[in-house]
């Protein structure tokens, strides 16, 4: 069936809206995302003890559900239903309503093209859709007036500053989930947001592992202590009793000659003891400190070396013999100084303050440097100062 011919479907006392949308889509040979719904009526059913029967909450009972003391009683059980009208999904919204995995908070994420219209009509229209999203995800309707006021406050703030495109619309007042221990490989987390790794989509033989260069006494990794949360009712109305978390985190495996473990700010923090390459392998920090390559570099054996331009690291690379390349192919090297004796193969990216290549560079390889000296340049070079003996159909931006 075409979407234009879809006739709206009314469903009463629906507990699972996602299930009903999937059912309607299947019966009408449509995609689930082609359909949405309108809330006609919302009902909450409660029972105050196991021996009671469920009854619909009205008036004073609904007001009681707004109060934390009543809502957080363990013996209280509740569920929510909606009368809905399933209809075609008419147009795209330029924001997302996200409920976290622990069902403890609601976040609004604005698209780049989102525009705030500071009118009650705009806020009410937006909030109506937010309520539909919450119903879709099974969130119990409580503190809606507070959510609405928070929405207006945050959007007006965004209209003036336009800085933060995501904000917390509502967070559970009582229920706080446990925070599990979490390890962070800081070298990678600090590098990736500001860099791309252009060779990652190249041929399968490319080694996708990366070593990150760390200076002496630089933080390389940490693992945060777990935090005990607080029991309470989540956004779906289920009372959650949390398990006890461990008192301390699991340490990251490491070589004590290469790394130092310190306890700082409720975390175990790991510092580099030397200028070295570091990677996280199977939950363990692995160190590489030898950067003299007398027999050249093969990419199937060597990870990328990233983040070393300001480190003071010097790479010395020499071809094994006259018939072999100093670097074969598909590799990224970043250091303060890179000295190469021999040829550089295909899909190699070299980044440094100073780069010297006593040999030729492949037409599909790149050099980025303040100073670059290349015997036979066939590739692409970006440099403030550039010297070469032979220039063969290469590109130079200096």
- For residue 199, what pLDDT is reported? 54
Structure tokens at 57: 């909450």
**Residue-wise pLDDT tens digits, 251-304:** 999 999 999 999 998 899 999 999 999 999 999 999 999 999 999 999 888 999
Q: How long, in residues, is the chain?
A: 398
The strand pairing partners of 360, in sequence order, are 376
Tell me if residue 291 falls in helix, strand or coil. coil
**Residue-wise pLDDT tens digits, 76-133:** 999 999 999 999 998 889 999 999 999 999 999 999 889 999 999 999 999 999 999 9
- For residue 10, what pLDDT is reported? 97
Helices (H), 162-312: 186-191
Vertex 363 angle, CA 362 and 366, to 5°: 80
Q: Is the pTM of this model over 0.85?
A: no
Helices (H), the chain: 17-27, 59-65, 68-71, 120-136, 144-161, 186-191
List the chain pLDDT tens, one digit each, 398 residues: 677 788 999 999 999 999 999 999 999 999 999 999 999 999 999 999 989 999 999 999 999 999 999 999 999 999 999 999 999 998 889 999 999 999 999 999 999 889 999 999 999 999 999 999 999 999 999 999 999 999 999 999 999 887 789 999 999 999 999 999 999 999 999 998 888 766 545 544 444 689 999 999 999 999 999 999 999 999 999 999 999 998 889 999 999 999 999 999 889 999 999 999 999 999 999 999 999 999 999 988 899 999 999 999 999 999 998 888 999 999 999 999 999 999 999 999 999 999 999 999 999 999 999 999 999 999 999 999 999 999 888 888 88
Domain boundaries, the chain: 1-91, 94-174, 182-287, 292-397
The strand pairing partners of 343, in sequence order, are none
319 C-beta neighbours (distance < 10 Å), count: 22
From residue 14, give the alpha-carbon distance in Å to each of 41, 85, 135, 389: 10, 10, 10, 77
- What values do phi and psi take at 3, rounded to 5? -65, -30
382/8 Cα distance (integer angstroms): 61
């Amino acid at each position: 069936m075409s979407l234009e011919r879809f006739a709206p479907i009314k469903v009463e006392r629906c507990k699972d809206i996602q299930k009903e949308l999937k059912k309607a889509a299947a019966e009408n040979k449509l995609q689930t995302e082609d359909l949405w719904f309108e809330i006609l009526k919302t009902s909450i059913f409660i029972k105050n003890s196991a021996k009671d029967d469920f009854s619909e909450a009205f008036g004073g009972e609904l007001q009681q559900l707004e109060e934390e003391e009543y809502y957080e009683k363990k013996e209280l059980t509740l569920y929510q239903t909606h009368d809905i009208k399933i209809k075609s999904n008419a147009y795209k919204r330029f924001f997302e309503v996200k409920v976290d995995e622990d069902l403890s908070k609601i976040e609004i994420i604005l698209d780049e093209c989102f525009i705030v219209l500071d009118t009650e009509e705009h806020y009410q229209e937006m909030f109506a859709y937010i309520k539909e999203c919450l119903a879709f995800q099974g969130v119990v309707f409580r503190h809606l007036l507070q959510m609405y006021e928070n929405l207006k406050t945050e959007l007006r703030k965004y209209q003036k500053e336009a800085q933060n495109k995501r904000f917390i619309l509502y967070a559970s007042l009582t229920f706080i989930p446990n925070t599990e221990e979490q390890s962070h490989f800081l070298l990678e987390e600090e590098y990736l947001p500001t860099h791309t790794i252009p060779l990652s989509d190249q041929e399968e033989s490319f080694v996708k592992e990366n070593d990150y260069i760390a200076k002496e006494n630089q933080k390389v990794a940490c693992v945060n202590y777990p935090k005990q949360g607080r029991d309470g009712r989540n956004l779906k109305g289920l009372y959650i009793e949390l398990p006890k978390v461990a008192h301390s985190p699991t340490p990251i495996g490491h070589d004590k000659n290469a790394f130092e473990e310190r306890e700082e700010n409720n975390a175990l923090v790991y510092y580099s003891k030397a200028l070295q390459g570091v990677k996280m392998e199977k939950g363990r920090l692995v160190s590489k400190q030898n950067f003299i390559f007398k027999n050249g570099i093969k990419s199937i054996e060597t990870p990328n070396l990233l983040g070393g331009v300001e480190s003071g690291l010097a790479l010395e690379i020499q071809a094994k013999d006259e018939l072999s390349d100093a670097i074969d192919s598909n590799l990224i090297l970043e250091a303060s100084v890179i000295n190469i004796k021999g040829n550089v193969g295909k899909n190699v990216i070299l980044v440094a303050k100073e780069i010297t290549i006593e040999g030729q560079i492949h037409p599909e390889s790149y050099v980025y440097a303040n100073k670059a000296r290349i015997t036979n340049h066939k590739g692409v070079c970006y440099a403030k100062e550039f010297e070469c003996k032979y220039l063969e159909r290469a590109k130079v931006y200096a």
